[in-house]
Structure 1
Amino acid sequence: MSTAKDLFIISMDAQPDAAVGQGDLSLALAGAELIDLIGARAVALDGDRIVPDGQPALEDGLLDRASAALNRQAPYEPVEEWLWRRGRDLSAAYQAALEEDGHLIRGRRGRSPFGADRLELTDSAARRGAVSRWKAEEPVLAALASAVGIHNGESQGPGLDDEAVTTVLAGVNDAVMELEAVRQRRSIEKAAFANVWRGP
């Protein structure tokens, strides 16, 4: 399984105690894809710019789509732009893929933050693999989960020594904080508008 699919599964397992925003998760999923593309040597980073480095067979439909979506012309795309562009509605794409593969099913009752129907993870090898990686405090998965507000107990986990991966993770954190700032600004504007209509 890809890091992005593992992250999605962990975000589902974290419900309902740690609600994950769709926008936050989509940004983190785009970061997870980029980290897997770096690991597969499909891309490299030149500073913060994503430089395509061939198109290897990735054996994952969504990662293949991510690779195909890369900007392959200089001066290439900065990590932050990739996160916002690729991340648009990406959590919905992963939900659909996991449903199609039988890793997610529609529950009989209740509602889910991921849609009107309650979604439940099946007891699959994919789920067990993601949980195993999570319990082992794998640093990339832990850092991506932390960016969207999911924390693995009290442990901070081991550090990262890959500069490219660290750059992507920093970009994910910055993008999530920017999205939260936009939410807060909109909330303030909405409250101010409501106050105008209520009057003194």
Structure 2
Amino acid sequence: MTTAKDLFVITLDHPGPEHAVGQGDLSLALAGAELIDLIGAGAVTMDGDRVVPDGAPALDDRLLGEAAARLTRQPPYETVEDWLWRRGRDLSAAYQSALEEDGELTRKRSGRLSFGSDAVEPVDTPGRRGAAARWEEKEPVLTALASAVGIGGGRSEDQPGLGDEAVTTVVAAVHDAVMELEAVRQRRTIENSAFANLWRG
């Protein structure tokens, strides 16, 4: 499976210590995972923090192909941050649907991670075992992306062994975007509390 699909499965098998992974956090990380796979496939290169399309290699994954098709192909191109927010919109739901269609996920009434009214869990497939193997081996990219959403040691971008400047740029952008999303959530909570207090007062 792709890095994004592996990451989705890992979030189900290894939920965060305090709470389930949020759809927004996961969507941002999935968009980053797609970009890293596109870099690995030679579909894009990085010019600083800008995503530059580079050829059109054959991609055997539908969602990864969709990601490649949505790349901005005109200069000055798109920053990684802009890509994460644009591509990441509702991306976790798209991956859930795709993994269910592929027979990698099944629904149940109660479970570890709930999206909407249904909970989903991985099926014991070669894909799930492959994701588990990458996780057990502490594969640097998967570990770094998982940490961005609070799995396996919290949100620290100081992950050793990424070994590629482009990949490091993407991982750092994912961490920043997730932190920005959390800041927005906290601000809304404070604003809502203040509004409620105003009405009660």
Q: Distance in 1 between matches of 2:160 and 2:195?
A: 46
Q: Distance in 2 between matches of 1:43 and 1:196?
A: 51
Q: Which residue of 2 aligns with 1:172?
A: 174
1:37-70 Cα deviation digits (max 9, x unpaired): 0000000000100000011111000000000000
2:124 match: secondary structure:
coil
TM-score, with length taken from structure 1: 0.94
Q: Distance in 2 between matches of 1:59 and 1:194?
A: 51
TM-score, with length taken from structure 2: 0.93
1:153-200 Cα deviation digits (max 9, x unpaired): 9xx86422200000000100000000000000000000000000111x
Within 5 Å, give how 1:12-161 maps onto structure 2. Answer: 12-15=12-15, 17=17, 18-107=19-108, 109-110=109-110, 112-151=113-152, 158-161=160-163
Q: Distance in 1 between matches of 2:75 and 2:11?
A: 35
Counterparts in 2 of 1:86 and 1:13: CA distance versus 1, 3 Å: same
Decide whether the 8 Å contact of 1:137 with 1:152 is kept in 2.
Answer: no
Percent identity of equivalent pairs: 70
Q: Distance in 1 between matches of 2:177 and 2:118?
A: 29
User: In the alignment, residue 176 of structure 1 is paired with which amino acid?
Assistant: V
Aligned residues: 196
User: In the alignment, residue 45 of structure 2 is paired with which amino acid?
Assistant: A
What are the ranges of 5 or more consecutive residues in structure 1 without an aligned counterpart?
none
Q: Distance in 1 between matches of 2:191 and 2:182?
A: 14
Q: Distance in 1 between matches of 2:159 and 2:116?
A: 32
Q: Distance in 1 between matches of 2:16 and 2:44?
A: 36
